[in-house]
Structure 1
Amino acid sequence: MRYLSIYRPESGVEGGTPDPEHMAAMGRLIEEWSAKGKLISTEPLTPRDRCARVRLDGDGQFAVSDETVRAGGFAFLNAESKDEAIELCKAFLKVAGPGTCEIRQVLEFAPQPA
């Protein structure tokens, strides 16, 4: 099963430049999970001061807001269960530092016959 993990660093942590030791530890984790087939892809996200949220208001007009969610990055994980995805995120947080990971299973639908 595939899971999306969105990492939200604690307040004040977002947007900083990690030190070389931290980057090396993260690189080792990415290499290990990639080799085991647990990591599909991962990328950092820009700080929320450079983001926007767009929504359709009730009157059909689009509204743009600066009320974005703080997020440090995302990862698509390959896990056998939600429990395994949780354990992967716990291991990630030990390397990434203070924050939370929101985990959502990516729904997979069987193709419909033509």
Structure 2
Amino acid sequence: MPRFMTLIRINEQDRADWESDPEFDQRMGALFQQITQAGVMLETATLTPTAEGTRVTWHGGKVGHTDGPFTETKEVIGGYAVLQCKDHAEALEWTRRFLQAHSVKWNVEAEVRQIADQPAQ
């Protein structure tokens, strides 16, 4: 079965304004239980803020790095999930359900892409 990477994009400046939603943990817990029981979820995690990250670049034959925060970037990857689904449509459905578990006051975006499987060497 194909695997899909779901990249969760957020605006870190908005994150500070997110109000605590007491039912959020319940909704997310129920969804994670369903997705795990369905055998779809392979891995998921929230990422630390960009202030704790480093970007490594390769330009003109030289490696460089920049420590966060990355203030010039409006949207950043705040988390990810690796799903194993029968097809792209199923991956989109689980991602839709994930986004709907969030508060209506939050702005969250997800990018769903199939992982290109490489033949064994």
TM-score (norm 1): 0.81
Bigger proportion of residues as strand: 2
One-letter amino acid matched to 1:27: G
For each residue in 1:52-83, what CA deviation from the matched residue of structure 2 results, as whole angstroms up to 9, or x when unmatched? 21112214242325436522211111111112
How far, CA to CA, are the matches of 1:89 and 1:106 in structure 2? 15
Partner of residue 107 from structure 1, selected from 79, 98, 116: 116
Change (3 A) 1:72 1:42: same
How far, CA to CA, are the matches of 2:8 and 2:18 in structure 1? 14
Structure 2 match to 1:6: 7
How far, CA to CA, are the matches of 1:43 and 1:15 in structure 2? 21
Q: Could you tell me which runs of 5 or more consecutive residues in structure 1 were left unpaired when the two chains were aligned.
A: none
- Number of corresponding residues: 112
Structure 1 match to 2:31: 29
Q: Could you tell me which runs of 5 or more consecutive residues in structure 2 were left unpaired when the two chains were aligned.
A: none
Secondary structure of 1:89's counterpart equals helix
How far, CA to CA, are the matches of 2:112 and 2:50 in structure 1? 20
Identity of aligned residues (%): 27
TM-score (norm 2): 0.77
> Contact 2:54/2:65 (CA < 8 Å) preserved in 1?
no
State the superposition RMSD in angstroms: 2.4
